[in-house]
Amino acid sequence: MNNIKRFDSKTFNALKAKAAQSERRRANLNVHASYEDIVQRLFIAMMPDSYVRPHRHVQSHKWEFFMVLEGELELIFFDDNATVTERLVLSSSGDCSGVEIPPNVWHATVCHHPVVFMEVKQGPYKLDEDKGFAHWAPEEGTEQVPDFLNALKNASVGDVLSM
């Protein structure tokens, strides 16, 4: 039974501590053995000041699944023109804790408090093919990010977000 992988509060607390120390303010723990695996499974801890640039998964067969394990995560969905079409709160203790996003759907994630969630998606994972980033959102690490992240967190359905 030594090959059974266990994921507990100690695991998640260590992941949150790693995220708090990370420049990107998030950290992941891969469950899959390789980026070549056909199913990619990972736990992600994210801090409130972490910026996830709006993106979509452009390969027609690549969906993405999220399940919140601790805390709360907001998913923000957009149309092609940067208009917010939906906000969805995923909560470990709320009405909705998970979602599966189909391919080619613009989305971003934000949180107001530290969160731990699981992501599952189809592999293999190839960095240059995984995401199509929104041209209307700033690149990670640029000076526009703090203002844009604040706009993301406060956007309502129907708002248009762009740099």
- Domains of the chain with CATH codes: 9-125 (2.60.120.10)
* Rounded-to-integer distance, Cα 43 and Cα 138, Å: 25
Indicate the pTM of the whole model. 0.92
% of the chain with per-residue pLDDT over 90: 80
Average pLDDT value for residue range 13-36:
95
How many alpha carbons lie under 13 Å from residue 117 in its C-beta half-sphere? Answer: 30
Structure confidence at residue 129 (pLDDT): 63
- CB atoms under 10 Å from CB of 19, counted, come to 21
Residue 126 confidence (pLDDT) above 90? no
Least confident among 7-16, 119-128, 130-139: 119-128
- Order of strands, edge to edge, in the sheet holding 106-110? 84-91, 72-78, 106-110, 55-56, 132-133
In 105-163, alpha helices (H): 127-130, 145-154
Helix, strand, or coil here: 23?
A: coil
